[in-house]
Amino acid sequence: FSEDTLFADDPKGLERLRAIRHAVPAGVNEQVARNGMPKVATDFAVPWAALPEMIHAYESVPMAHVLFGHIGDAHLHLNLLPESPEALEQAWDIWRALFRRAIALGGTVSAEHGVGKLKRPYLAEMLGPALIGQFAALKRQVDPHWILGRGTMIAAQV
């Protein structure tokens, strides 16, 4: 991946990187609009030593995709770009396989954008029921009426 890495050490170069950083997600959104299907995006991070293996997993994906992110903290965003309902199902299968790969490498399901409702079941798979139970106990102490973030990280029935 080194041939695709950019570096800046002056204000002009930094501005160029900033422009690229904002152009990539905008380009992804334009492609999503053309495809008429939602993207399926990762927010995984792995330990630095595992990054080459995770990049290999990302680059092996058998679907149109865009890979960009934060190399400094081993946190890359893979945006899968399905073009049909069938491909959307395949994209979610790929997402789940990549999630399990990231976890096997000691990574996380949510590096920067939060767990939310979508990734809640995967948080439980990543951390296990005992730790989720501890989170729920803390939530009951801080928010006994489950008013804040209902069902976001912890299901109300836990």
DSSP states of 116-130 as a string?
Answer: TTTSHHHHHHHH-HH
Total-model pTM: 0.83
What ranges do the domains of the chain cover?
Answer: 2-113, 114-158
**What are the tens digits of pLDDT across the range 99-147?**
999 999 999 988 888 888 888 888 888 899 999 999 999 999 999 998 8
Between 151 and 87, the higher pLDDT residue: 87
Are 78 and 98 a contacting pair, CB within 8 Å?
yes
CATH architecture observed for domain 2-113: 2-Layer Sandwich (3.30)
**pLDDT at residue 35 is higher than 90:** yes
pLDDT above 70 covers what percent of the chain?
96
Two tokens, residue 117: 């409702």
pLDDT above 90 covers what percent of the chain?
63
| 42-51 mean pLDDT | 93
**pLDDT at residue 1 is higher than 80:** no
Who contacts 126 (Cβ-Cβ below 8 Å, separation ≥6)?
103, 108, 109
CATH architecture observed for domain 114-158: Orthogonal Bundle (1.10)
**pLDDT at residue 157 is higher than 70:** no
Cα–Cα distance for residue pair 87/149, rounded to 1 Å:
32
Cα–Cα distance for residue pair 26/17, rounded to 1 Å:
14
| 37-47 mean pLDDT | 94
Q: Please report which confidence band the pLDDT of residue 39 belongs to, taking 50, 70 and 90 as the band edges.
A: very high
